[in-house]
Amino acid sequence: MSRPDTVDGDGAVPDCEGCGACCAYSWEWPALLGPGDGAGIPAYFIEDGRMRCDGDRCSALAGTLGEAVHCRVYADRPLVCREFTAGSDDCRELRRLFGFDSG
């Protein structure tokens, strides 16, 4: 997940590398969005037009949720992953769901 985080309205910066919630909440996500999306991702990470998951967790996510995580296919990650914004409402909701944010 190594990428710069965005700052939310409160000025707090979510720690993507200490979270991983966005990569572990649904076995149906992330989906590949058309030809070329996810090019370069090894075939064993892809299943039925989406990233393969182990339970609800993307199989490309390595590490321990809420402590230290990274994406094993970060450079080639799907478009939906590239567009997910750290600090967004969706990010904050997932962080709360996993108990990483209290608000």
Residue 28 phi/psi, 5-degree rounding, is -95, 0
Please give the structure tokens belonging to residue 74.
Answer: 């970060």
Confidence (pLDDT) at 97 = 96
CA angle at 56 for the pair 82 and 69, rounded to the nearest 5°: 55
Confidence (pLDDT) at 83 = 94
CA distance 18 to 65: 7
Write out residues in the chain with pLDDT < 70, as ranges: 1-13, 102-103
Confidence (pLDDT) at 2 = 35
Reported pTM: 0.83
Confidence (pLDDT) at 96 = 95
